[in-house]
Chain A
């Protein structure tokens, strides 16, 4: 069964460092998303991406965040200068279309900023 894959599964970084989280969405999917979940809190939307551009973003997704689809398979989230409060589980998701199509989530990258 096709699945969304994310790497790494865990990342520890020092405050102020840049991190890149990587995702390979399901191959015939057209919409890609990043969500995050701070420990014990709800899943929060960060950004959606369609047709090689950002289609929606939340207020969390400020200038320190960026997304890129560098080739036909990868979808990355970059955090330029990490802060302690960026520590969370980051989920990548993809859906075949918009509308009623469900989003399939990857297993997540647990980011710890120290």
Chain B
């Protein structure tokens, strides 16, 4: 089976840095994605990791450790508009393209 765990909720202050963790146990691994989802809207792509290490993209960075089945999404200089759910998703087996999603972490940014 596929098991992807994230904290349910987090709160952080505007201008601060927040780290959202994701651990996974899947039958096969072919990449990990982070998506942002505002309430009632579609998920939008943030980042992709398939090799160990850090991928940086502006205010957002994502880290992967395949040996530990662990990833995190780092958001810097938080803005109020960053309040959303952040979804960790794993592409499982080789040749498969579907994503397995975690339950998402609802981030609330406060002034």
A87 to chain B, nearest CB (A): 15
On whether the beta carbons of A91 and B97 are closer than 8 Å, the reply is no
- Name the residue of chain B whose CB is nearest to the CB of A50: B97
Residues 21-71 of B contacting A (Cβ, < 8 Å)? 30-31, 33, 35, 41-45, 48, 50
- Name the residue of chain B whose CB is nearest to the CB of A55: B97
| Residues of A with C-beta under 8 A to B99 | 35, 43, 45, 103
B26 to chain A, nearest CB (A): 12
Residues 67-108 of A contacting B (Cβ, < 8 Å)? 91, 95, 98-100, 102-108
Give the total number of A-B pairs whose CB atoms are below 8 A apart.
Answer: 60
On whether the beta carbons of B43 and A56 are closer than 8 Å, the reply is no
- Name the residue of chain B whose CB is nearest to the CB of A44: B101
Q: With contacts A43-B87, A100-B31 known, is A33 near B45, CB below 8 A?
A: no
Question: CA separation between A86 and B98, bound complex, in Å?
Answer: 20
Give the number of residues in A that approach B within 8 Å (Cβ atoms).
26
On whether the beta carbons of A43 and B101 are closer than 8 Å, the reply is yes
B106 to chain A, nearest CB (A): 10
On whether the beta carbons of A107 and B41 are closer than 8 Å, the reply is yes
Q: 1/0 contact trace for A40-80 toward B, CB 8 Å?
A: 01111100101000011010000000000000000000000
Q: 1/0 contact trace for A3-37 toward B, CB 8 Å?
A: 01000000000000000000000000001010100
- B residues with a Cβ closer than 8 A to A are 30-31, 33, 35, 41-45, 48, 50, 87, 89, 95-104
